[in-house]
Chains A and B, each alone.
Chain A
Amino acid sequence: MNFTAQVALDALRCAVLAGAAFAIGWPLGGGRRSTLRTVCLIAPLLMPSLLISYAAAPVTLMFGGSMLAAFYSVLLMLKLAPLAALARDCFPSPLSAEAAFCARLLPAEGAAARAWFAVRAAGPVPWATLAVLFLLTFTDFELASLFAVKTWTVMLFDAHAGGLDPSLSLRRIALPVTIQLAVIVALLVPRWSATSGRVGAARGGGLHFIIAIAVLIAGLPLARVAWLAATGFAQLRVQEVFAADLVVSLGIAAAAAPGVWLLMRGRALVALPGLLGALVLALLVLAFIQVPVVRLLRDTPLPLIAVEMLLIAPIAFVLRELIRAHTPREALHLARMAGSRRLIWDLALAPRAGALALLFMLAYFELTAATILAPIGLTPVFARLHNLAHYGQSAVLSAMLIAATLVPAALLALTVGAARLYARRDD
Chain B
Amino acid sequence: MRREAEAAAFIRDRTLLLLGLVAVLFVTLWRLPALRSSVVVYCAHDAVFAEEILRDFEMRSGVKVLVRYDTEATKSLGLVELLLAEKDAPRCDVFWNNEMLGTADLAERGVLAPHRGPGWERIPEQWKDADARWTGFAARLRVHIINTRNPATDLDDLSRGAIAKPLYGTTLTHYTALWHLWGPERLKTWHHESRARGLREVNGNGMVKDIVARGARDHGFTDTDDFFDAKDRGALVAMKPVRIDGASICIPNTVALIRGAPHEATARQLIDYLLSAEAEMALAKSKSRQIPLGPVDENQLPAEVRELREWSAKCVPLAGFVKDRVECLAWLKSEYTE
Instruction: Bits for A253-268, please: 1 = Cβ < 8 Å to B, else 0.
Output: 0010011001001000
Query: In the assembly, what is the distance between CA of A94 and CA of B321, in Å?
Result: 67
Query: In the assembly, what is the distance between CA of A373 and CA of B91, in Å?
Result: 13
Contact A161 B77 (CB under 8 A): yes
In the complex, which of the residues B71, B73, B233, B326 contacts A392, with contact meaning CB atoms closer than 8 Å? B233
Q: Decide if A340 is an interface residue (CB 8 Å cutoff).
A: no
Interface size on B, residues (CB 8 A): 67
Query: In the assembly, what is the distance between CA of A48 and CA of B194, in Å?
Result: 34
Query: In the assembly, what is the distance between CA of A308 and CA of B77, in Å?
Result: 19
Q: Decide if B206 is an interface residue (CB 8 Å cutoff).
A: yes
Q: Decide if A292 is an interface residue (CB 8 Å cutoff).
A: yes
CB distance from A296 to the nearest CB of B (A): 9
Q: Which residues of B contact A74 (CB under 8 A)?
A: none
Contact B167 A161 (CB under 8 A): yes
Q: Which residues of B contact A145 (CB under 8 A)?
A: 73, 203
CB distance from B222 to the nearest CB of A (A): 12
Q: Decide if A372 is an interface residue (CB 8 Å cutoff).
A: yes
Q: Which residues of A contact B20 (CB under 8 A)?
A: 255, 258-259
Contact A379 B69 (CB under 8 A): yes
Instruction: Bits for A27-68, please: 1 = Cβ < 8 Å to B, else 0.
Output: 000000000000000000000000000000110011011000
Interface size on A, residues (CB 8 A): 58
Q: Decide if B78 is an interface residue (CB 8 Å cutoff).
A: yes
Q: Decide if B210 is an interface residue (CB 8 Å cutoff).
A: yes
Contact A368 B91 (CB under 8 A): no
A299-B35, A367-B74, A377-B31 known; A286 and B13 CB under 8 Å? no
Closest to B287 in A: A391
Contact B73 A148 (CB under 8 A): no
Query: In the assembly, what is the distance between CA of A161 and CA of B24, in Å?
Result: 32
Q: Decide if A384 is an interface residue (CB 8 Å cutoff).
A: yes
Q: Decide if A414 is an interface residue (CB 8 Å cutoff).
A: no
Contact A299 B216 (CB under 8 A): no
Q: Which residues of A contact B61 (CB under 8 A)?
A: none
Q: Decide if A305 is an interface residue (CB 8 Å cutoff).
A: yes
Contact B80 A163 (CB under 8 A): yes
Contact residues, A345-402 vs B (CB, 8 A):
367-368, 371-372, 374-379, 383-384, 386-392
Q: Which residues of A contact B326 (CB under 8 A)?
A: 162
Q: Which residues of A contact B204 (CB under 8 A)?
A: 390
9 other A-B residue contacts (CB within 8 Å) besides A161-B168, A299-B28: A148-B203, A262-B16, A287-B85, A301-B28, A367-B71, A372-B74, A389-B206, A390-B46, A392-B210
Q: Which residues of B contact A (CB under 8 A)?
A: 9, 13, 16-17, 20, 23-25, 27-28, 31-32, 34-35, 38, 40, 46-48, 66, 68-75, 77-78, 80-82, 84-86, 88-89, 91-92, 105, 165, 167-168, 172, 200-204, 206-207, 209-211, 214, 216, 226, 229, 233, 326, 329, 332-333, 336-338
